[in-house]
């Protein structure tokens, strides 16, 4: 899920979030993560930071702790099976050992 969907699932009101640049550079996001602001959902120290874009409030920082991040996993840009297939191909081409572990049931929403 994207940041807006994650904020909605965690019942985070964008009005309560700190204003953010619309497209922060990696260094800006990294600097924010180093400060460990409170999780936007539960208040625990955050481990990830991103930006939600709300039509009424603009760009806002969206910070999540480990548990809230795991409850709202990001959407992969390609199906997991295709990603693993390409990863295995690259590992074989570079002769790097690779061992992958997956569960049979998949994750929520897949």
Is the alpha carbon torsion for 85, 78, 72, 35 positive or negative?
Answer: positive
pLDDT at residue number 76: 75
The DSSP result for 15-33, as a single string, is GGSPB--SS--HHHHHHHH
Write out pLDDT tens, residues 81-106.
Answer: 888 889 999 999 999 998 877 666 65
pLDDT, tens digit (0-9, with 9 covering 90-100), for 69-80 = 999 988 877 888
pLDDT of residue 107: 52
Q: In which band, very low, low, confident or very high, does the pLDDT at 109 lie, cut at 50, 70 and 90?
A: very low
d(CA 23, CA 45): 23
Per-residue pLDDT averaged across 7-11, rounded? 96
19-54 tens-digit pLDDT: 999 999 999 999 999 999 999 999 999 999 999 999
Domain map (residue ranges) of the chain: 3-71
């Amino acid at each position: 899920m994207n940041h807006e969907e994650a904020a909605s699932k965690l019942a985070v009101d964008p009005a309560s979030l700190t204003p953010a640049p619309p497209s922060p550079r990696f260094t800006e996001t990294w600097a924010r993560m180093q400060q460990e602001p409170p999780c936007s959902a539960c208040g625990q120290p955050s481990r990830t930071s991103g930006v939600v874009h709300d039509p009424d409030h603009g760009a806002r920082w969206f910070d999540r702790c480990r548990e809230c991040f795991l409850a709202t996993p990001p959407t992969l840009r390609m199906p997991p099976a295709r990603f693993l297939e390409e990863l295995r191909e690259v590992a074989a081409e570079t002769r790097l050992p690779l061992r992958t572990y997956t569960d049979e049931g998949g994750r929520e929403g897949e």
